[in-house]
Every structure is written in structure tokens, then in C-alpha cells.
Amino acid sequence: MIEFMFALAIGMLFGIGVFQLLRRDLIKAAIGFAILFSAINLFFVAVSAFEGEYAPFVSNVEAGRQTSDPLIQALILTAIVVSFGSFSLVLGLVNIISLRYGTVDSNAVNNLKH
């Protein structure tokens, strides 16, 4: 049951994220980008969080209990750092665009179209 809920949540987050990313408003697009990254992180959790019942300590492993996967948490942590870096860079670029063009409407930011 919980796996189905996870799949549903990931799918919804992915849908909302893609929808936001395609908005005309660049700030909304940037936030859609952050939502998409949360969807991926949730996918990482769903991949292997439900296998064990105990925290992955050495004592639990030695006692023969089935522990959850510790690697996935390190991966998500790294993915969060990377996505936070790109998200802040996107927001910085949008900020400079809003100062230079006076708008964040992506239809108005079209100087590249020759």
C-alpha cells in the first residue's frame, strides 16, 4: 500500500513540476524545477527505503537484523546539495533577467530570436 502511495506521490510531483517548468513566468519555472528535484529524491527513497526495519548501525548488523540501505541517504543528501546549487543559480539568473528586462515573462525575454 505504501509503495503505491509513493508511486502516486512521485507521479503527481513530477506532473506538477513539469507543468510549472513550462509556465511563462520564469520564477514559477524555477520553482517547478525544485519540485522536479524533490520528485527524484522521493523516487530515490522509494527505491530502497522499505527493505529493512532497523537503522543501519553496526550493532544492528551484527545482531543479524535486517537494516535499511544507508547508501541511499548519502545519495539523496548529495542530490539535494547539487539541486540546491542549480536552483540558486537559476534564481540568480532570473533575478538578473528581471533587473535587465524589467519582466520575468519568458515571452518578453526573447532577444535571441532573430
Partner 1 sequence: MGENIFVLGTLVAPLAGAVVALLFAKNNHAQRLVGLISSIVAWIFSTRVLLQVHQKGVQTYELGNWPPPYGIVLVADSLGGLFAFMVTTIMIGGMLYTLHSHDRCMTYPAFVPLFLLMEVGLVGAMLTGDLFTLFVFMELMVLASVSLTAISDDQFGLEAALKYILISSMGTLFLLLGIAAMYAALGTLNMADMARILLTGERPFLAPASALMLLCAFLLKSAVFPFHFWQPDFHTTAPTPVSAMLSSIVVKVGVYGIIRLVTLLFIVEAPLLQRWLALLGIIGVIFGSLGALRTYNAKRMLAYSTFAQIGFILVGIGWGNTLAMIGAIVYAFNHAFIKSSLLMLMGVVASYTKVKTANFASIVGIGHKLPPLAGWLVLVGGLSLAGVPPLNGFISKLALIRGGVAQQDWVNLILLVSAGILTLIYMVRAWQQIFQRAPIPETTPTKEAGDSLLAPMLLISICLILGIVLAEPLLQLVTETVREIGDPNTYISAVRLRLEGP
Cα separation of the two ends of the chain? 53
The DSSP H or E segment spanning 42 is: helix 26-48
Asked if residue 93 lies in contact with residue 12, where contact means CB atoms within 8 angstroms, the answer is no
Q: Is 40 in the site for partner 1 (CB under 8 A)?
A: yes
Q: Which stretch binds partner 1 (CB under 8 A): 1-9, 38-46, 52-60?
A: 38-46
The Cα 24–Cα 105 span in angstroms is: 6
CB nearer partner 1, residue 55 or residue 74: 74
Helix pair angle (26-48, 2-21), 10° resolution: 160
Q: Is 20 in the site for partner 1 (CB under 8 A)?
A: no
Cell of 56: 543501519
Q: Residues 59, 62, 107, 114: which binds partner 1 (CB under 8 A)?
A: 114
Catalog residues that contact partner 1 under the rule CB under 8 A: 21, 26, 29, 33, 36-37, 40, 43-44, 47-48, 71-72, 75, 78-79, 82, 85-86, 89-90, 93-94, 96-97, 100, 109, 111-112, 114
